[in-house]
């Protein structure tokens, strides 16, 4: 579990705290002294006794809370709107609602989901620059007024279907330092801005701000500095044309895992410096961001079970090094894979490998075997890891994978109709008390 090293106070939405209580939602609040690991062990025990071998996630909402505190400590000027696309589980949305964040929704379905969980329309930004007309109409009908755009045809659609919308112009920025690049697909080039602003003026549309996304899994904080400076340029142009510019949205891209470990504070310093330079606190511009990965990446641990096993032998391997067992390769088939929760292995350039670990206790002296682990489907692309040296597993043993909260459940498919991993959301008593104190 992550250590909480920050001391910010947090605003919670008191009525939402009731939503989090066990009568109103399926978040389990642990008894005092019980840990998330105890919860996970119990779930696996329960499954063993009932013969349930389906995969599940432990959604550790303490992590979401700690990430929120960390954000408030280091980026106090920047309000967060969680990117629902990253993890659309109701428990995460409810937790963040309790923490009084906003939500970035990219479609009618995501807006519907957020509204159905009690999020109010003023807490939603419809952050997709190319929207189906029916989705724009839906947003209007449900009071979702803040939305992004990056081209003239979108402006025309908005003027027809939601003329009173508050518009945020998404600009294309340098995303070359990010693991997942977005700016070839979204964002207006700076040399097209003037024309877009003129078009909006002509259509009597209300542009109130600028947004950008430096790419997901950003590894270089200078990308934010340059993008904030670019946004200033657009603000100046729009201000000079009479638009009342008052919102800067610095998008997503934040992560604390893999290559990005430990650089969040450096990112925050660069962003705060750039904001103070280009958008000083007294300039009247509200600053927001759309973090997805940041909040949830480390909150979910996947528990998968060995469905099947094959022991392969390679007579040549024995011949080469003469070691006992070197010729044996263990082949395991688990109940979740790249078409399910582990789709990041093929879909997410910021998460291209996972290292499962055994739930059962391992004695250091146990024989290790070269192993390969496959997912459950009929496709040979569905491989989790190979050349993996672990003690021998049996059918029914459990493997755990940490850091599975981002772009996992929201992307998985129904290929071969294997059951989706159930989500078991949990909060420790300590975090529950902390939430209630605010
Ligand atoms: C418009 C928009 N906002 C926010 C996000 C979330 O990005 P991240 O998960 O890197 O924080 C994305 C991700 O694709 C996005 O497209």
Q: pLDDT digit string (tens) for 346-402?
A: 988 888 899 999 998 878 788 999 999 999 999 999 999 999 999 999 999 999 999
Could you tell me which residues come within 8 angstroms of residue 49 by beta carbon, excluding any fewer than 6 positions away? none
Residue 294 CA, ligand 1 centroid: distance in Å: 10
Instruction: Tell me the CB-side half-sphere exposure of residue 308, using CA atoms within 13 A.
Output: 8
Q: For the chain, how big is the Rg over CA atoms in Å?
A: 24
**What pLDDT, on the 0 to 100 scale, is given for residue 313?**
85
Question: Do 391 and 367 contact (CB within 8 A), yes or no?
Answer: yes
CA 118 to chain centre: 20
Residues annotated as catalytic are: 378
The answer to whether residue 342 scores a pLDDT higher than 90 is yes
Pairing, β 124-126 against β 102-105: parallel
- pLDDT tens-digit map of 286-324: 999 999 999 999 999 999 999 999 999 876 655 444 555
113 HSE (CA, 13 A, CB side): 21
Question: What is the sign, positive or negative, of the torsion defined by CA atoms of 141, 145, 149, 152?
Answer: positive
C-alpha dist (Å) from residue 140 to 103, 159, 245, 312, 393: 16, 11, 21, 60, 55
Distance separating the N- and C-terminal Cα atoms of the chain: 23
DSSP state at residue 171: B
Distance CA 248, CA 185 (A): 20
pLDDT, tens digit, for every residue of 64-84? Answer: 999 999 999 999 999 999 999
3-state secondary structure of 403: coil
Mean pLDDT of 44-60: 94
Q: Give the model's pLDDT for residue 365.
A: 83
- CA of residue 434 to ligand 1 center, whole Å: 29
Question: Per-residue pLDDT for 62 more than 50?
Answer: yes
CA 410, CA 381: separation in Å to the nearest integer?
A: 20
Q: Residue 95 belongs to what H/E stretch? A: helix 90-98
Sorted by where each begins, the domain ranges of the chain are: 9-60+296-438, 61-295
Q: Which tokens sit at 294?
A: 């940041």
Atom of ligand 1 nearest to the CA of 290: 4
Q: How many helices (H) and strands (E) does the chain have?
A: 14, 19
Give the binding-site residues of ligand 1, using a 6 Å CB cut-off.
Answer: 83, 86, 104, 127, 182, 213, 216, 251-254, 290-294
Which of the listed CATH numbers 3.40.50.2300, 3.20.20.10, 1.10.10.10, 3.40.30.10 matches domain 61-295?
3.20.20.10
Ligand 1 centroid from CA 166, angstroms: 20
Strands 78-83 and 286-289: parallel
DSSP-derived letter for residue 30 is P
Q: Could you identify the atom of ligand 1 that is nearest to the CA of residue 217?
A: 10
Looking at every residue in the chain, the average pLDDT score rounds to 91
**Ligand 1 test: best mutation among 184, 224, 290, most atoms within 8 Å of CB?**
290
Specify the CATH superfamily of domain 9-60+296-438: Lyase, Ornithine Decarboxylase; Chain A, domain 1 (2.40.37.10)
The reported pLDDT for the residue numbered 363 is 80
Band (pLDDT 50/70/90 cuts) for residue 18 is confident
The length of the chain is: 438
**pLDDT at position 432:** 92
Q: How many whole angstroms from 1 Cα to the centroid of ligand 1?
A: 25
Longest distance between any two alpha carbons in the chain, whole Å: 80
How far is Cα of residue 358 from the mean position of the Cα atoms in its chain? 25
């Amino acid at each position: 579990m992550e250590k909480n090293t920050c001391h910010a106070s947090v605003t919670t939405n008191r009525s939402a705290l009731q939503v989090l209580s066990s009568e109103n939602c399926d978040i389990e609040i642990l008894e005092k002294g019980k840990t998330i690991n105890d919860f996970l062990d119990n779930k696996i025990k329960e499954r063993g006794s009932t013969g349930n071998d389906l995969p599940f996630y432990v959604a550790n909402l303490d992590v979401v809370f700690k990430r929120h505190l960390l954000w408030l400590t280091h980026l106090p000027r920047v309000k967060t709107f969680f990117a629902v696309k990253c993890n659309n589980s109701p428990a995460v949305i409810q937790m963040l609602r309790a923490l009084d964040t906003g939500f970035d929704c990219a479609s009618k379905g995501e807006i519907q989901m957020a509204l159905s969980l009690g999020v109010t329309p003023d807490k939603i930004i419809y952050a997709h620059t190319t929207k189906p007309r029916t989705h724009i109409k839906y947003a209007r009908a449900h009071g979702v007024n803040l939305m992004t755009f990056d081209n003239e045809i979108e402006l025309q659609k908005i003027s027809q279907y939601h003329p009173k919308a508050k518009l945020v112009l998404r600009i294309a920025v340098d995303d070359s330092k990010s693991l997942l690049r977005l700016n070839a697909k979204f964002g207006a080039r700076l040399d097209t801005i003037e024309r877009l602003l003129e078009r909006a003026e002509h259509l009597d549309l209300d542009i109130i701000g600028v947004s950008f996304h430096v790419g997901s899994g950003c590894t270089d904080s200078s990308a934010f500095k340059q993008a904030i400076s670019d946004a200033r340029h657009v603000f100046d142009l729009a201000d000079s044309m009479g638009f009342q510019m008052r919102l800067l949205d610095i998008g997503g891209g934040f992560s604390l895992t893999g290559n990005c470990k430990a650089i969040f504070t450096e990112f925050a310093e660069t962003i705060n410096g750039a904001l103070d330079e280009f958008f000083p606190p007294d300039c009247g511009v509200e600053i927001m961001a759309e973090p997805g990965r940041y909040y949830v990446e480390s909150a979910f641990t996947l528990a998968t079970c060995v469905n099947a096993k094959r022991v392969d032998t390679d007579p040549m391997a024995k011949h080469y090094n003469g070691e006992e067992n070197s010729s044996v390769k263990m082949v395991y088939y688990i109940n979740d894979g790249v078409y399910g929760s582990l789709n990041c292995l093929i879909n997410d350039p910021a998460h291209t490998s996972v290292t499962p670990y055994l739930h059962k206790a391992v004695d250091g002296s146990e024989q290790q075997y070269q192993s390969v682990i496959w997912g459950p489907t009929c496709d040979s692309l569905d491989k989790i890891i190979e050349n993996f040296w672990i003690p021998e597993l049996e059918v029914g043993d459990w493997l755990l994978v940490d850091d599975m909260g981002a772009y996992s459940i929201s992307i998985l498919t129904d290929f071969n109709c294997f059951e989706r991993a159930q989500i078991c959301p949990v909060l420790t008593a300590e975090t529950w008390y902390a939430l209630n104190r605010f």
